[in-house]
Amino acid sequence: MKTLSGTLRRSSIQTICLFAAVLTISLSITGKYLINSSKHTMRNAMAFLKYEILEEVSSKSMEIFEGDLVNSLFRVENPSLEDLKITIKYKDHIYSETQDKKILNFAIEDKVTNIHMYDYLVLKNELKNRDGETFTVILVKNLGDEKKFFFDMIYIFLAGLIVTVAISSFAFNRLLKKVDKQLSLLEKLNSNITLENLEVIKPTNYFKEFDTIIDSYEEMLLRLDEQNKKQIEFVHNSSHELKTPLFIISGYIDMIKRWGKKDPEVFNEALISIEDETKNMNLLIEKLLFIAKESDIRSERKEIEFSEIILGCISGLKHQYPKADIIFNPEYTIIKSDEALIKLLVKNLLENAIKYGKDNPIVISLSNNEEENRAELTIEDQGIGMTPEELHHIYDRFFRANKSRSKEIAGHGLGMSIVKRIVNILKLDIRISSTPNIGTTIKLLFDL
Which CATH number does the domain housing residue 385 bear?
Answer: 3.30.565.10
Q: Is residue 190 part of a domain?
A: no
Does 309 lie in the same domain as 233? no
Q: Is residue 354 part of a domain?
A: yes
Backbone φ and ψ for 33, nearest 5 degrees, come out as -65, -45
Predicted model pTM: 0.46
Q: Is the pLDDT of residue 24 over 60?
A: yes
The pLDDT tens digits of the residues spanning 377-434 come to 999 998 888 888 888 778 776 665 554 444 444 555 677 877 888 888 888 888 999 9
The answer to whether residue 437 is domain-embedded is yes
Tell me, yes or no, whether 280 and 389 share the same domain: no
Per the structure, the count of domains in the chain is 3
Supply the CATH number for residue 36's domain: 3.30.450
pLDDT bucket at 235, cuts 50 / 70 / 90: low
Same domain? For 126 and 251 the reply is no
Q: Would 165 be classed as within a structural domain?
A: no
What distance in Å separates the CA atoms of residue 282 and residue 242, rounded to the nearest whole number?
A: 10
Same domain, 27 and 145: yes
Quick one: pLDDT at residue 241?
A: 59
Helix locations, 110-207, DSSP H: 144-191
Q: Residue 301's pLDDT is what? A: 82
pLDDT in tens, 94-144: 888 888 888 888 888 889 998 888 889 999 998 887 777 888 889 999 998
Residues 346 and 394 in one domain: yes
Minimal CA–CA distance to 376: which of 331, 339, 340?
331
Domain holding 286, by residue range, is 208-292
The conformational region for residue 96 under phi > 0 = left, psi -120 to 50 = alpha, else beta, is: beta
In a domain, 371, yes or no: yes
Mean pLDDT of 349-375: 85
**Domain limit, last residue, from 266, 292, 318:** 292
Q: What is the pLDDT of residues 316-332, one digit of tens each?
A: 787 778 888 899 988 88
Residues 423 and 364 in one domain: yes
Domain boundary among 257, 292, 327: 292
Q: At a CB cut-off of 8 Å and minimum separation 6, what does 73 contact?
A: 52, 56, 64
**CB 127 within 8 Å of CB 135:** yes
Asked whether residue 77 is domain-assigned, the answer is yes
Any domain includes 385: yes
| DSSP structural state of residue 111 | B
Highest mean pLDDT, choosing among 25-29, 79-83, 236-240, 408-412: 25-29
The letter for the amino acid at 282 is: N
Determine, yes or no, domain membership for 185. no
User: Higher model confidence: residue 142 or residue 71?
Assistant: 142
Give the other-Cβ count within 10 Å of 435's Cβ: 13
User: How many residues are given for the chain?
Assistant: 448
Does 133 lie in the same domain as 25?
A: yes
| 3-class DSSP state of 126 | strand
Q: Which amino acid is at 368?
A: N
Q: Could you give the CA distance from residue 264 to residue 21 in angstroms, rounded to a whole number?
A: 102
- Average model confidence (pLDDT) across the chain: 79
**How far, in Å, CA of 88 to CA of 74, rounded?**
12
| Together in a domain, 212 and 76 | no
Give yes or no: residues 279 and 325 share one domain: no
Looking at residue 56, what is its pLDDT? 66
pLDDT of 189 > 80? The answer is no
d(C-alpha 149, C-alpha 30), whole Å: 10
pLDDT of residue 238: 62
Select from 270, 292, 314 the last residue of a domain: 292
